[in-house]
Amino acid sequence: MTQIFDATSTTDDVLSGVSLKGKRVLVTGVSAGLGIETARALAGHGAHVVGAARDLAKAERATDQVRVAASQGGGAFELTALDLADLASVRACADRLNAQGTPFDLVIANAGVMATPFGHTKDGFETQFGTNHLGHFVLVNRIAGLLHDGARLVNVSSAGHRFADVDLDDPNFEHTPYVPFVAYGRSKTANILFAVAFDARHRARGVRATAVHPGGIMTELVRHMAPGEIEAMVSQINEQAAAEGQKPFQFKSIPQGAATSVWAGVVAEAGAVGAHYCEDCHVSDVVPNDQPISLVNAGVRAYALDPAHAEALWTKSEEMVGERFA
């Protein structure tokens, strides 16, 4: 019988009894929060985890627990440099991995930023779209040949995708007033659409891609928010939830937050999660674009899973980064 997991399940819950020996995994953003826990859980169950981070010194200090888990669980852990806000760094990381030539069973595109002040990456892209989407778009496509048949891609998105669809006419806010959470929403929608388009290109050889919402977790992701801002948001969400007769919003622990990434990557049936959006360790229902939905409700907006929309984003992304990918 397939084990049923939910919002309270942790990484250790979903991996109970699972051996990942012989599996190789790339996890981006391993210097904090969900990335550390994801790497710890996978390495602790026998996987060889390659952790990517912008600040290797910080990542080295932050991942002691990953190395301990790897030693105890028969896994392995190594670090590689990756600055998603600098395509030269992204391409250099991909070149190193391709030069090693060792295939991956799973890539978890976990790294990201949220609600940053208006700014640009080194290549001139709006910070959140450039970091959260375009950096991973180039990295994953450049190492796609290392994903052997049957491998998976997990893009860490967010319920924040509901804040905004992508704007293919003005991705860098050159003509649109900048709102931090609108920009975040665009980038998280892009994470889902990228999974949809990548899945369409690679499913014939058994490579499947999915996007996940980890839930609300207090990690370094909130570092750009003003003091009291997150509390005010939660209060507003709970007022709306109470008015609708819904349960109040609850933060997850980091092990609970990382559980859906791990579940979608190695536990769930590949065909069940491919080209879908998952949360709380299950595949989410699609919510029509014109139907009201609060952040305490589950569900993914229809625009984020639309195949034609995904193809349009793929074409725009290629144009922006100056590369074509099959």
d(CA 322, CA 87): 11
CA dist 116 and 202 (Å) reads 33
Is there a contact between 79 and 43 (Cβ–Cβ < 8 Å)?
Answer: no
76-81 and 24-28 beta bridge pairing: unpaired
Catalytic residue, candidates 178, 184, 277, 303: 184
Residue 59 near residue 85 (C-beta atoms within 8 A):
no
Catalytic, 184? Answer yes
Nearest to 77 by CA among 111, 44, 110: 44
The residues, ordered by sequence, that sit 6+ positions from 200 with a Cβ below 8 Å of its Cβ are 275, 307, 310
How far apart, in whole angstroms, are the C-alpha atoms of residue 185 and residue 163?
5
User: Which residue bears the tokens 């801002």?
Assistant: 229
Q: How, if at all, do strands 277-279 and 282-283 pair?
A: antiparallel
CB neighbour class for 27 (10 Å; exposed up to 12, middle 13-18, buried from 19): buried
Cα angle 203, 206, 211 (rounded to 5 degrees) comes to 60
Assess contact for 293 and 299: CB atoms under 8 A.
Answer: yes
CA angle 203, 207, 212 (to 5 degrees): 100
What whole-number distance in Å separates Cα of residue 63 and Cα of residue 105? 21
Which residues are designated catalytic? 184
